[in-house]
Structure 1
Amino acid sequence: MGVPKKRTSKMRRDRRRAANNNLRSAVQVIKCGKCSEPVLPHRACGACGYYKGRETIPAAQG
């Protein structure tokens, strides 16, 4: 079994781990089908409480 000949430094380790941060995409925001408010995907709308065309959270009394 292969064994590292020398210890990996903290800087080299952290640089390798940080390289994946640039590959992540930004969070997509969509519009609610009922009230057109911005909503995260696969989440109920905070303004109207609808998800996939039905009310899942009671609407806030405003």
Structure 2
Amino acid sequence: MAVPKSKISNSRRGMRRAHDKLSNPTYVEDKDSGELRRPHHIDLKSGMYRGRQVLKAED
């Protein structure tokens, strides 16, 4: 069984965990509708992606 040779200090443990924090999801304002949407995702209301119609628009 693996056993650490010495104790890891609280500071060193905290520095390692500093990158584990979850970030909030990013949203961008759609140019056409002005609604918020995720970047690189289809706008489900209009069905547009990168200026072309991909899905039928919802009513």
Give the TM-score, by structure 2 length.
0.60
Percentage of identical aligned residues? 29
Pairwise CA distance, 1:34: 1.4
Distance 2:5 2:39 in 1: 47
Distance 1:30 1:54 in 2: 18
Deviation at residue 19 of structure 1 after TM alignment: 4.8
Q: Which has more helix, going by share of residues?
A: 1
Q: Tell me, which stretches of 5 or more residues in structure 1 are unaligned?
A: 7-14
**Alignment partners' CA distance in 1, 2:29 and 2:54:** 17
Aligned residues: 52
In structure 2, the partner of 1:55 is: 53
Question: Could you list the per-position Cα deviations for residues 3-46 of structure 1 after superposition, in whole angstroms to 9, with x for gaps in the alignment?
Answer: 7448xxxxxxxx8x865432x32211001121111100110001
Residue 40 of structure 1 pairs with residue 32 of structure 2: no
Shift of 1:58: 0.8
1:21 maps to a residue whose letter is D
Runs of 4+ in 1 over 6 A off after TM superposition: none
What TM-score do you get using the length of structure 1 for normalisation? 0.58
